[in-house]
Amino acid sequence: MLEILAIAWLCNVNKKNAAQRGRKPGGFVALTVVLWVGLELLAIVIGVAAGMEVGVYLLAILFAGIGGLTSYLIAKNCRTGDYISPQDKAIADIINSPEYLDTPATIEIMREKRFAGALMDYPLKLNGQRLASIPNGGSITVQTISRHNILSASDTYGTELKPFLFDMESGGYATIRFKAGKFAPIATGTLPVSLYTDNNGSGVISQ
C-alpha cells in the first residue's frame, strides 16, 4: 500500500515538473511506473538467481529507488516544449478575455460528507484564484463577477481533478456539490437556471 502511494506521489511530481517545462505529462507518468516497477522486478530476479533471501527485499527497494530517482531527474530536466494543459488554457482564456456581469453572482460550494477520504484536503481555485479548503461536510459561499468561470481542485497528493467550467448570469445563484473527487452542479436560487453537460464534460449554468 505504501509503495502504491509513493508511486502515485512521484507520478504527480513528475507530471507537474514535465508540464512546467511545457511537455505533455502522460509519457513521463508511464516512464515513472516503468522505471520503478521494472527495476524492482529486475532486482527480484537478480536476488533470486543469486540465492539471496532477506537481501532480495533490500535490493528491490534500492532498485526501485534508483528507478524513481531516474524518472524524477528526467522529468525535472527534460527538453522544454510548448504544451499547455487544458485546465491552464481554460483559465488563461477566462482571465485574458473576461466578460463581466452587471451584478455579482453567488456560488455555494458544498463538500459531501463521506467517511472515505474524510481527512483529505482539497484546495479549490475559482478562475485561478485560491479559495479556502472545504472541510468534510462543509461548504463555502463565494461571489464571481465573471460570466465564464472555471472551478478546479487538487487532492492531497497533488492530483488535479477534472475542472468544472460553467457560466453564470447577473445576480444568479448556484450550488455546486463536491463529492467523490468531482464536481456535481445543482441549480438553485434567485434566477431560473438550467444545467447541461457538453461533449467535453463541461457543466454549464445559465439563465
pLDDT digits (tens, 9 = 90+) for 76-121: 999 988 888 777 777 777 777 778 899 999 998 888 776 655 566 7
Task: Give the closest residue to 188 by CA, choosing from 76, 124, 115, 107.
Answer: 107
Helix segments in the chain, DSSP class H: 2-20, 26-49, 54-76, 86-96
Sign of CA dihedral 178, 182, 183, 184: negative
Residue 184's pLDDT band, with cuts at 50, 70 and 90, is low
What is the SS3 string spanning 127-162? Answer: CCEECCCCCCCCEEEEEEEECEEEEEEECCCCCECC
pLDDT value, residue 35: 94
What's the one-letter identity of residue 166? F
Q: Supply the DSSP symbol for 190.
A: S
Q: What does each C-alpha distance from 129 to 58, 88, 95, 140, 153 come to in angstroms?
A: 45, 12, 10, 14, 11
29: how many CB neighbours lie within 10 A of its CB? 20
Domains of the chain: 2-76 (no CATH), 86-206 (2.60.40)
Dist. CA 31–CA 145, nearest whole Å: 42
Grid coordinates given for 123: 484546495
| Predicted local distance difference test score (pLDDT) of residue 33 | 94
Q: Give CA–CA dist 62/67, Å, rounded.
A: 9
For residue 194, name the pLDDT band (cuts at 50, 70, 90).
very low
Q: Are 153 and 123 in contact (CB under 8 A)?
A: yes
User: Model's pTM, two decimal places?
Assistant: 0.57
Amino acid 118: pLDDT: 57
Q: How many helical (H) and strand (E) elements, i.e. helices and strands, does the chain have?
A: 4, 10
Q: Measured between alpha carbons, how far is 148 from 165 in angstroms, rounded to an integer?
A: 8
Look-up: residue for cell 491552464?
A: 88
* Mean per-residue pLDDT of the chain: 79
